Amino acid sequence: MVPVSALLLLATALCCSAANTSSNATSPAAAVTAADACSQLQSSLGTSMVQTQSSGPEYSIGANFAWSTFNDEENFQPTCIVFPNSTQDVQTAMKVIFQNGADYAVQAGGHSGMTGWNTVENGVLISFINMNSTSYDAECNTITLEPGIHWGDASSILQQYGVSPVGGRIATVGTGLLLGGGISYLSPAQGYAADNYVSLDVVLVNGTLVTATVDNEYSDLFKALKGGGNRFGIVTKYVVRAVDTGTEDEKRWFGGLFVYPNSSSEALLAALAHFIHDTIDPNAVLATTIRTTWEGDSSTEIELDAILVYNGTEAAFNQSFAEFLSIPFTSAAPQPLSYLDLLEAVTFPDGLGTLFAASALSGVPVNASIEQYLETYRLYNNFTENFASSTDIAFTLLDFSPVPQTQIQAGYEKGTNPIVPPLGSGGYHEILFQVTYLANVTQPPDNVEQGRQFWIDSAPSTPGLPFFLNEADANQQVLATYSGYDFLKEVYAKYDPTRFNVEHTQGPLGL
């Protein structure tokens, strides 16, 4: 375990660090520029679609729609919020924003742990609350999604046709997941969620609309949006492949939530390393979360949760997860499940402030990788022990999301993506370290943030593996971990030669 003294020493060195070095403070000139843009937008789109804090009843809803309260109105007050009803409205908004040189942000599902990525201070916020439809084309076997839809709502609408998109594992997550690649319960068989694009309608920074596909003149943009984040334009329509998942009444999956005691942690982490090293069955799916809940000001409770599910029979489930089933657990309720049941199995509370951080760990070689998994857990426990008396933290998470070899292979077969995980070297786990604060905490305390930064700086990570953009700290250089990093830089320079996006909105670093 990392000594407490080492943590405190580094904390002293980081005493000036903040939750996000990208400040939400803006200059007086930026505020005037945003006000001019908002005035023009109200003239062109109307005051019901473009609302300011004093002029519209929906402003407060849009300003407080973000899942993390660090991104709500108390910390960020957009000069105006645009609530578009169509792609054309987004084009109009971006043309005015571009012409005025205004700061801006885009908010779809709002499920971001990066402060400032889906809101803006003294700028224009484009909120997709009103663009939230989804439809199924049976002839083409494709699904069309507007950016404001959440995965649970999309799957609920589509279950009558027996299909789903490859989307989030939590019902309340939105389509922004696609721009970071996206990991799904369907990913072991279908690749990253973004590997399943068919076409994308994209509004570029100057308001130009293009439709990108795998084989048209915008094929490079199409590929860049399979993990490049919000840097390349605003996607206003996703057409994606439909996957046969059955209706709500069809219980094709078997499994459920298994809860393990802390005494089983070493055996569980070893099982995770074995699973990612050995499993080649795309129907076996798991997600593991170590959750620490703060109780009062002096104690914490650790719970190890594993969702173990198999797209098939109970017998196949028992065979695929034999090692996990042999580890002592405190509770379990495996049962037949529909895909919709699976999406609704995990929920996260709203109204709390949350920050993410990422690393990635291989399962090869097995013995060495197990030690790396254990070290990651020791660092997590070290954070817990040092801040167990905090009255600001609600809970923390350490998540292990498998990226099996079958998922990587599926991505290559569907045209690859800029993430380009290494093929042929086994799978790996994306690691999420999450700190969630109580509702009354508007900014993370400095000392706790220093401890979180220590985890970011110290957590093991296997060289050559990409981090998961959707579950990273805002200041981590995630794109630089991609094998397609140079490709992303070239595509960004082509579609935003004035570098408007990186200068006027927050998002992944490095372009």
Give pLDDT tens digits for 258-275. Answer: 999 999 999 999 999 999
Each residue of 126-135: pLDDT tens digit? 999 999 999 9
List, for residues 131-180, the tens digit of each pLDDT value.
999 999 999 999 999 999 999 999 999 999 999 999 999 999 999 999 99
Q: What is the pLDDT of residue 16?
A: 33
If one looks up domain 134-247+486-501 in CATH, what number appears?
A: 3.30.465.10
What pLDDT score does 297 carry? Answer: 65
What's the predicted TM-score (pTM) here? 0.93
CATH topology of domain 25-127: 3.30.43
List the structure tokens of 232.
């390349």
What is the fold of 253-482? Vanillyl-alcohol Oxidase; Chain A, domain 3 (3.40.462)
Radius of gyration of the CA atoms of the chain, in A: 22
CA dist., res. 232 & res. 490, Å (int): 11
> Cα(130)–Cα(57) distance, rounded to whole angstroms?
14
Tokens of 367: 């013995």
Model pLDDT, residue 298: 63
pLDDT tier at 257 (50, 70, 90 boundaries)?
very high
Task: Judge contact between 346 and 169, C-beta under 8 A.
Answer: yes
Q: At what angle do helices 4-13 and 446-458 cross, to 10 degrees?
A: 110
The encoded tokens of residue 295 equal: 């109780």
The domain spans of the chain are 25-127, 134-247+486-501, 253-482
At 10 the pLDDT is: 31
Nearest to 70 by CA among 119, 32, 26: 119
- How far apart, in whole angstroms, are the C-alpha atoms of residue 488 and residue 509? 12
Per-residue confidence at 356, pLDDT binned at 50, 70, 90? very high
